Structures are given as structure tokens and as C-alpha cells.
Structure 1
């Protein structure tokens, strides 16, 4: 029996992978008896902050990571594809349909025993994958910190609001692609200079939810909209409100700024404000976001919110297989391990299951090759500088450099510029990644 604690993205993937490898799995989830500040259901793999698994570009880090996970038959990606909603060149899902599909698969597997209770301390004699996420309960987090002799680290993460589709004024808004990529899947609400100025004035003066720990930082890749605005009045126009490539059909020109909304349900009745995660009070969200043209009568299906996330000091605590160095038969997967993002969390669950499977069967474990996106991410967790460590997404920059002279960079720059260089590098990384993964899986199969 292998114990998986937490039925989020990482825990769900880990439990499924272990069961498919012939192990009996006890999957423990504390919800609904013990909930969190962000969750609203008792289902597996609930996506609370966003409904997106990021870019499908085959030459991007997330596109390559998806290809690697598909090679290993990821349950999370299979359910995500079945729950896909229009989102240009990104994989976004209907959250409820997706969670239901994952929950049904897990509860229907004969080797998975689902139980609902809070775990304060893992059983030392039972191989365990700890995948309780960034909202790990206080008793378990305290045990982990004491058992590993490591300080817990925290950051604040925020959630964007969702509005109903029929409350959006399409006489002001229009449908278009996001940054000229994919189909016309996003609703675009344009702002001229005066409208942007009024919006900024209201946003900067709006009442915010107090933070319980003012020394805890925000996660830089997912800043609240008002925190970005604090850095300068033009910051949003170069970030989530960037109008590049979006011709307003009424004027034929790019607007001064734009707010984009992405479909959140298969029915298309709910849309979320892309990049508008916030800690504004709910009453302030109504006032401020209704200043956006097209959202003057917006009805909120869910308001934005903020919560504190926990992660471990991975370079001190984990090796590159996600095994806890100081505690035998314990692995940590998902955002608790120091990765950031739904896709990365699910990939971590897969990697932890791969390692636990081999350990339980008495086979030497080996990290995924650093030439793979998954391997490079886990290598970063294990070998980053402890002083500078922070949560990270999958990035091509984590991969080993390509051999010098492999690409004619000068020729690519002359013919296609920076975009051509990036695409070529991404393609080579992708080919090298898949070859390395397949060789790793082949060797693993032979040793089994």
C-alpha cells in the first residue's frame, strides 16, 4: 500500500500513476470536512486560481512538458482535453467538468481507496507521497517543518474574478484572439485614454483586504492587479491590459488598453478576467471592475480573493526525484515542493509516483534527464541556491544549453529575426527532450 495525501493536481496524478502500475493506493483528502480559504468543492483536482494549463505551443516549455506527460499517459492531461474550452493556443478547461472527470476516474479505480480526513502526521512505515498543496493544513505543515529541520516559506497568491457571459455588453466588447494566437476565443473590452485613467484612479484608491503577514511576498508571476498598478500607471498597459495586435472593429486601431476575458465553462456562460487576480474587497471589485467598458452591468459568479501559499525549501529538503532527503519513503509533489502552476504540479505528481513505484519495488531510482523539461524543473528544485530559492514555473531557461553551432543563429536572425531564433531553439529542445525521455523510460522498463 502506498499513501498519497492530498487529491489536488499532483496527488490525483500520483495516485492514478501508482494504481496503473499495480500498486494499492490510499488517497486521503481533507475536504470537505476541512476546507481551505480557496477551495469550494470536495472534488479532486479543483482548479482555484485559473482554468488554464498554459500554452500549447509545441516549442514552448509548457508545450514540451505536455508532450512529455502524454508519453507517460497523464490522467490530468487526458481529463483536461475532455473538458477543454476555447482559449486560443492555450489549454483551458471547464473547471467543474474537469474536476468531476478526475474524481470519477480515481474513485472508480479498483486499486484506489479514497478517504476523507485530515492527516496531521504521515505513518512512517508506509511509503507516502505528500501532495497537500500550498494550502497544507497547519498541523501537517508544522510536522513537516520539524521533521525536515527546514523553515517553511510562504508567498501570497491571488484569484481573478469570474463574470457571467450574458452580463457583458457586446456592443462595447468584441471577440478576438489573444496576441494574434489561435482563434477569436477571447472577449475584449477596450479602454481609451480617459477610461484607462479613471480605471487607474479607482483601482489605486480602492479598499484592499488586509494581509495577515505583511512580510510575506507576492508571487511575482501572479501579482494582484492593484500591486502591479502600484508600480506605475503604465504597468498594466504593458502587462495584462496590453492591447498589442487587437484592432477594435469600431475604430480599426488598437485601443489604449484592453481587458481580456477567457471562457471558464463548456457552456460558455462564465468568463474570467485574464490576469486580474486581486485582493480588493468584494464591494470594491464591483465598483472598480464595472468601470471597464463592456462590464458596466457585470454580474460576478465569483469574486477575486487572496490567500497565503506554503512551500518547502526544496534545495535543502528534496533530491531530484522529489524524495525527502532526511525521511525514508517520503516524497513531496506539487506546489508544496516549490513548483508553481497547475501543469507543473501535475507533472510533479507523475514524477513522484515514478520514483515511489521504483523504490517500493526495490529498484534504484534515477532523476528524469535534465534535457527534459520535467527533469530540468526537478533539477532546479534540488540544486538551486537556497538563499535565492523561490517557486518556479517550467521554463526553457532551466534546460541545459544547446551545443554551440547547432543552429545558424545569424542566418535565422537575418531571415526571421528573434521569433525565428526562439522557435528554432524551442524545436531543438523539444526533439532532444522527447528523445531523452524515451531513453529514460526504456531503461526504466528494462531494469524493471
Structure 2
């Protein structure tokens, strides 16, 4: 809702290329990329240079949105400007399988509690199947990290590792590899991505012991993502272990999961609430490299940084959104002193509590969301009024 109030073009592109995913906004990646490329190429105010950027000219305001995989000369340039040691965490992606290779005698379409459309496919485990799967996953061999990740310990990672050094694996909780989650206990997955609540296996008429969900990867529903199965297992091990999931015994994997290192700024130390560097105020940053974690969050960060830069060009300083909005709460997270700073995605827990707190969680979240939208609308109106006033002087 906050991004809509800012007139996000990326959100419009996402809506135009979305695929069925229940209440979540998921897109056909190829179609979305093509639509964004078209929008950029057709915008008369944008000049495209398709070349490597190796330096940052801070003689005038500039916005850096190169993402968490920034490497090479540009990464060194960012390090020169920010000083100190850059932070990182390890991120992973889930495998993708073909729809035609699934066993539909076992896989069934359903949404939890029958809410909305049955956008997800479900792979139900009984207790015996789950225990065999867990044992195989717990003993599966992991892939070594890439050259730029050398020094990170993969044999027995600490799932709760925190810190800046490459000799300690730091994983982002929202994209935790499934094997690291399994290392926390036999039932951890059953209370996480494999939770069976709200589902009934049509073969048995009962709730499964555990359940894996598959989400369409494209509009045609020819490809499915194994939800929550980010992984760093060796590819052969992924084929062996994940084929133990009911319905995936003969699955064709078109992409295996991989793990990579994401770099991000020590934002509380180097960034202002306007998303520019404290010591180099002409250099603005946006996206995941700041510590905004997630696709929607990164796009929202880009909108805020662009507005801040625009305000600077017009001789103004853009105040951050109120802390009771999601964008404002995320900016506050970035700019509040924190010796153990980690990226953060949108969640209700970072919003300040309500004065009159409903006991029902759903009602509480709805009230927080309504307050956030109203507060954000007020902030947008104030900024637009300021722009109009500045333009009339």
C-alpha cells in the first residue's frame, strides 16, 4: 500500500506479470524483467549506458543501487567511501521442477484452510516418510562455497552465527537453507516451511504429518518452485534427497538450489535517514545493499532514495517516513546504532505497538496496517505540499 502511494512503476510491472501464489505477490521472472526493461528503455528521461561502472563520481548527487552481489572494482570503490569492513550474510535459492514430472496421484492443489484460490500444490508426508526424509537431509553433503567465499566454514556451520568475519557463516533467517534449518531439530521444519496446518490430504482425509508446498514459477504453471527449500546441498544430493518428497520421486529439476554471499553496508554506521553516506553526502544508496531485505522492500528503498536525491537537487532534505509506517520502520532499522546489524525485511514486529492493542492478532495487524497507511499518506501529502511550495518560490 505504501509503494502504491508513491506511484511505484515496479509494482505496476509486478501486477502485470504476477503468477498465482495465494495472498503473496509472485511474478513470472522473465516476463517481469522484460516489462521493466521495456519501461526503462521507453522512458524519455532515462539514458542507458550498458557498461561496467568501476568508480563513483561524487561531484554531484549519485544513486548506487548495484545489489548485494556487487564485486570487483566497484565494490572496492564502495569500500573506499564507506571505510571499515563490509558486512555479509549467506543467501540461498530453492530448486525448480517441471509440472509434468510431478506425481498427481500424491500431489494435490489446495490453500491453507481453503482460503482463496488453490494456488499451491501440496506434497503430503506421513510420519514414516518424513522421518526418512529428515534423516537423509541431515546427512546430505553440502557444496563448498565459491572462491570469493573461501574461509567460510561449511562442514558444521553455526546456524545462529552472527558477525562480520568470513570464517563464520551468517545466514539470513528469511532465506535459511533447509539443511541448516533441519540441523536445529527434527521438528523444526514441521513448524516452518513444512508445517501441515490448514491442509487435508485427500487420500487419507487427515492432516499430513508434514507438507511441502510448490508455487508456480511462471504464468503457464509449467514450472514450480519448492517453497522454503533454499539450499547449498550438492546437486546430486538435491536430486537424491528432494526426490524423497512425496510426488517428486521422478521430478525433473530445471534449476538446483545454490548458495552465495550477499554483501551489504554497515548502514547504522555509514548511512543517514536520507539514505546517503554520512561522510560523502552526495552518494545515495538503495536496495538490498543497504540492508532492506526482500524484493518489495528493496524496490521501496529505491523509491525513498530517489525522492531523497530529488529533494537534494531542489535544495531540500527529505525527512524519513514516520516510524509507524513500514518504510519508516525499515529506515529506522537501518539508521539505529546496532553492533550486530543484520538486514531486515518488512514484518509487523518492527512497527511500534498500538495504544489500544487488540487481543486478536489478526485484528491487531489490520489496525497496525491501517495506521501505517494513514500515516504514510499524511507524509506523502506533506512532501508534495513542500515540493509545490518550493516550486512557487
Counterpart in 1 of 2:338?
386
Determine if contact 2:321/2:376 at 8 Å carries over to the other structure.
no
1:186-335 map, 5 Å? 186-211=120-145, 212=150, 213-214=152-153, 215-335=168-288
Are residues 362 and 434 of structure 1, via their aligned partners in 2, closer, same or farther at CA, if it must alter by over 3 Å?
A: closer
Counterpart in 2 of 1:433?
376
Determine if contact 1:311/1:338 at 8 Å carries over to the other structure.
yes
1:29-428 map, 5 Å? 67-178=1-112, 180-211=114-145, 212=150, 213-214=152-153, 215-383=168-336, 385-402=337-354, 404=355, 407=356, 409=357, 412-413=358-359, 417-428=360-371
Counterpart in 1 of 2:163?
none
Shift, 1:180, TM fit:
4.7
Higher strand share: 1
Are residues 181 and 141 of structure 1, via their aligned partners in 2, closer, same or farther at CA, if it must alter by over 3 Å?
A: farther
Counterpart Cα distance in 1 of 2:115 and 2:268: 37
323-332 or 269-278, which deviates more: 323-332
Equivalences, count: 372
Shift, 1:164, TM fit:
0.6
Are residues 445 and 137 of structure 1, via their aligned partners in 2, closer, same or farther at CA, if it must alter by over 3 Å?
A: farther
Shift, 1:79, TM fit:
0.2
Q: TM-score, normalised by structure 1?
A: 0.80
Shift, 1:181, TM fit:
4.0
Counterpart in 2 of 1:17?
none
Unaligned runs of 5+ in 2: 154-167
Q: Deviations over 1:159-201 (max 9, x none)?
A: 0001011111111010011465431000000010111011111
Counterpart Cα distance in 1 of 2:371 and 2:285: 31
Q: TM-score, normalised by structure 2?
A: 0.90
Shift, 1:291, TM fit:
0.7
Unaligned runs of 5+ in 1: 1-66
Determine if contact 2:291/2:334 at 8 Å carries over to the other structure.
yes
Counterpart Cα distance in 2 of 1:289 and 1:313: 37
Shift, 1:423, TM fit:
3.1
Shift, 1:435, TM fit:
3.3
Counterpart Cα distance in 2 of 1:208 and 1:179: 36
From 374, 389, 393, the counterpart of 1:446? 389
* 3-state DSSP of counterpart to 1:442: helix
Counterpart Cα distance in 2 of 1:161 and 1:234: 22
Determine if contact 2:64/2:285 at 8 Å carries over to the other structure.
yes
Shift, 1:430, TM fit:
3.4
> Over the residues paired in the alignment, what is the CA RMSD in angstroms?
1.7
Determine if contact 1:88/1:178 at 8 Å carries over to the other structure.
no
Q: Deviations over 1:380-403 (max 9, x none)?
A: 2112x331211001223333333x
Q: Deviations over 1:1-46 (max 9, x none)?
A: xxxxxxxxxxxxxxxxxxxxxxxxxxxxxxxxxxxxxxxxxxxxxx
261-270 or 370-379, which deviates more: 370-379
